[in-house]
């Protein structure tokens, strides 16, 4: 096993294609649908089998007044399809969009709640689910 390397989240980001987003935080929750079998032969504990895989994606954006993320060209609106989404864990240099990353062929936007703190930030949370294939950091 290789020597351990740990990094902070400061080199992380997210992008749609090559358009980098102003990320405050992102979270990916991959899940597998588990089918349960409880019958006269399964014994006292259920037998489970994984079938479909899915993922819940949350992006917290710093609202950019010069480039409203909810409007074109970024266009993160509810129901919108975001192609080629990439969530980077650590870039080699700012804006490079390289390094290990979660990648999604397409994300369908589920909700875009926005929160404002008068003595804090304006945060737009985007929740989305993948449509098609996705992969974790390689």
Least Å from the CB of residue 52 to another protein: 31
Q: Which is nearer to another protein, 11 or 100 (CB)?
A: 11
Q: Is 17 exposed, middle or buried (0-12, 13-18, 19+ CB in 10 A)?
A: exposed
Q: Which is nearer to another protein, 69 or 130 (CB)?
A: 69
Q: Is 90 exposed, middle or buried (0-12, 13-18, 19+ CB in 10 A)?
A: middle
Q: Which is nearer to another protein, 12 or 130 (CB)?
A: 12
Least Å from the CB of residue 69 to another protein: 12
In whole angstroms, give the CA distance from residue 55 to residue 30. 4
Give the binding site for another protein (CB under 8 A): 8, 10-14, 20-24, 61-62, 65-66, 93-95, 121
Least Å from the CB of residue 45 to another protein: 45
SS3 content of the chain, % helix, strand, coil (to 5): 0, 50, 45
Least Å from the CB of residue 33 to another protein: 32
Q: Which is nearer to another protein, 1 or 93 (CB)?
A: 93
């Amino acid at each position: 096993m290789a020597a351990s390397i740990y990094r902070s989240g400061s080199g992380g980001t997210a992008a749609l294609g090559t358009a980098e987003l102003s990320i405050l935080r992102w979270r990916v929750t991959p899940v597998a649908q588990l089918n349960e079998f409880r019958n006269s032969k399964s014994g006292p504990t259920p037998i489970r089998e994984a079938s479909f895989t899915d993922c819940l994606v949350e992006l917290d954006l710093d609202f950019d007044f010069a480039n409203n993320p909810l409007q074109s060209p970024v266009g993160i609106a509810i129901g919108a399809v975001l192609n080629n989404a990439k969530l980077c864990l650590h870039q080699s240099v700012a804006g490079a969009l390289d390094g290990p990353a979660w990648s999604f062929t397409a994300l369908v936007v589920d909700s875009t709640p926005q929160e404002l703190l008068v003595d804090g930030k304006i945060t737009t949370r985007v929740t989305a689910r993948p449509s098609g294939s996705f992969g974790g950091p390689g």
